[in-house]
Amino acid sequence: MSRIIEQTSEPELNSQVSGRERQLLEHSANGLTDKQISAELGISSATIASYWRRLLRKYDAASRTELVAKFAKQQALCSLSELESSNNRLIHEVNERTASQAKELAQRNLLAAISDASLSYISSRYDARQIFTKLLGNILELTDSEYGFIGQVLVENGAPYLKEFALTNISWNAETSALYDKHHAQGLEFRNLKTLFGRVMTDGVAVIANAAPTDPRSGGLPEGHPPIESFLGIPIYTGPELIGMIGLGNRPGGYSLELIDFLQPIINTCSTLFAAHALQSDGESFSGRLRETDDLRLTLLDKVNFGILFETVDRKIICTNEQLGKMFGITADLGNLEGLDCRIAMAATEPLLKDPNDFRLSTERLVRGNESQYSERVLLANGAILERDFIVVKEANRTRGFLWCYRQVTAARSASNIC
């Protein structure tokens, strides 16, 4: 906010007058006569006249009118200054609160995107293209990007190339539209390495180009191609092997390393999904592949840094993950929970909760309501605070189950702090 107060070179009456002098000036500025001021303050007219003489000498004023006018002006300036200071504090508080809420919303959306991908993989028949297409849509929304793709990095004759699993349709003429329609279902292939995304494959590191048209690493765009003003390419690894890539374009304000850090949980999720797809595509027997992909399902769930419990509409537990056990202090094998009625499992956790009855009633209310709810606080008996999201999983407008996602807000109190 631009400063609206001009500094004055006049003596600061407000900061230098005594308490009685201030009263005299304030009453005079409010239109009271000396006689009225005398009655108001309970002092004689002679004393008031003495105060006026002293004030006129102190501030070298030609008249009482000039003196009162200076005082009134400085009072107004002080009031404006206080108002400006208060307004600036308010703006700062609003900005901080808005930034905090935006960060919380972004984290929640990130969680939802990972949960969506995990559940899609758990419930799908290994349809990688369907899963990655949905995940790409979530990533574009998370990053406010206009274009994007997710692709698998393959190698032929020693040279890497990209086979897309999900791609924004940016066809710019009839020819490219026909090409997209013909090959997208099987996965378009991109082999030109003299491009921004090509550098991701050849160098194996993330590429940020916030001035993409003039970036020396860019190979340019085909004639008629929609403009790409900014670009982010993120490599996806399984161990030391580069197996995939996420590409994003045209984010307002460009891309940053901080954004890559924010997306790291999704990058990890993509890594596991690509590894699962590779298992399905190799030459092993179907039963062997099925066993290994089931193991990868569990690995995917255990990689995420929040607790997960997924149950059917009739309250049977389908799966959980390690983080859930850690958050609730459960040391038993979580695999034993699968197939168990969720209400029985919930009863077994009552000693861990600060208010088991409130937890039970809230859980039943959410299930009956059949509407997703986010960021509900859960208090544990050890002093830890969790936050949980209740996500109704639907398919063709039919409820298929309920996903509970738990995040730790504060850790348990130490023994010395527990009453």
Phi-psi label, residue 239: left if phi above 0, alpha if psi -120 to 50, beta otherwise: left
What pLDDT is attached to residue 361? 92
Instruction: Name the helix (H) or strand (E) containing 398.
Output: strand 398-410
Instruction: Decide which of 291 and 85 is more confident.
Output: 85
pLDDT digits (tens, 9 = 90+) for 364-412: 999 999 888 888 899 988 888 998 888 888 766 788 888 888 888 887 6
- Sorted by sequence, the CB contacts under 8 Å of residue 175 that are 6+ apart come out as none
pTM of the model: 0.51
Rounded CA separation 39/318 (Å): 85
Rounded CA separation 337/308 (Å): 12
Q: What percent of the chain has pLDDT over 70?
A: 68
Domains and CATH numbers, the chain: 13-89 (1.10.10.10), 124-298 (3.30.450.40), 305-417 (3.30.450.20)
Band of the pLDDT at 304, cuts 50, 70, 90?
A: low
Q: Is the model's pLDDT at 293 over the cut of 60? A: no
Q: Is the model's pLDDT at 223 over the cut of 80? A: no
Range 308-316 average pLDDT = 85
Question: How many CA atoms within 13 Å lie on the side-chain side of 359?
Answer: 22
What pLDDT is attached to residue 414? 47
What pLDDT is attached to residue 119? 61
Q: Is the model's pLDDT at 260 over the cut of 50? A: yes
Residues in the chain: 419
Mean pLDDT for the chain overall: 76
Instruction: Decide which of 185 and 238 is more confident.
Output: 238
Q: Is the model's pLDDT at 69 over the cut of 80? A: no
Instruction: Decide which of 181 and 244 is more confident.
Output: 244
Q: Is the model's pLDDT at 299 over the cut of 70? A: no
Tell me the CA end-to-end span of the chain in Å, nearest whole number: 48
User: Phi first, then psi: what are they for 267, rounded to 5°?
Assistant: -60, -45
Band of the pLDDT at 91, cuts 50, 70, 90?
A: low
Rounded CA separation 287/37 (Å): 101
Low-confidence winner among 118-132, 333-347, 397-411 (lowest mean pLDDT): 118-132
